[in-house]
Amino acid sequence: HGVPSTVLRLTNTIGPGMRIKDARQTFVGVWIRQILECRPVEVWGGEQLRDFTYVDDAVEAFLLAATHPAAVGGVFNLGGVGRISLRELAETLVRVAGQGSFSVRAFPADRRKIDIGDYYSDCRLIGRKLGWKPRTTIRQALAKTLAYYRQELRYYL
């Protein structure tokens, strides 16, 4: 139909405003809630690799995709600054929060069957074509997200 379009494929986007009352959108939201409520986080497996895009970085990519002529007809992956294991993510979350705890557990058999394993993106194409790259490290993203929910938690439960 001649409509200029672009596809952005996101992995795990985190930041203020994400769902934290349950795991319908991301497990990270649940972990943040558990940490803020001083409940332990349970990490199943822990060696699975992920990348996390901070919401501000994702918004920047959407704005570039909507306005950059080289984006038309393109399909681009978004991702975060590097990969991190889920165990390392839990360690970083506890350290950045300055509170909480986590434990690594064996995967329950029924959940192991449906786990996606490692899942992270290669976002070099959007960097080459549009000049986008993630700027926010996981530590920075978690710090900003925790600060937000410390102020606004009551509205998200």
Give the model confidence (pLDDT) of 50-101 as tens digits: 999 999 999 999 999 999 999 999 999 999 999 999 999 999 999 999 999 9
Distance CA 132, CA 2 (A): 26
pLDDT per position as a tens digit, 137-148: 999 999 999 999
By percentage, how much of the chain surpasses pLDDT 90? 82
pLDDT per position as a tens digit, 99-113: 999 999 998 888 777
Domain ranges of the chain: 7-151
What are the helix and strand counts (H, E) for the chain?
Answer: 6, 8
Distance CA 141, CA 133 (A): 15
We find that the CATH architecture of domain 7-151 is 3-Layer(aba) Sandwich (3.40)
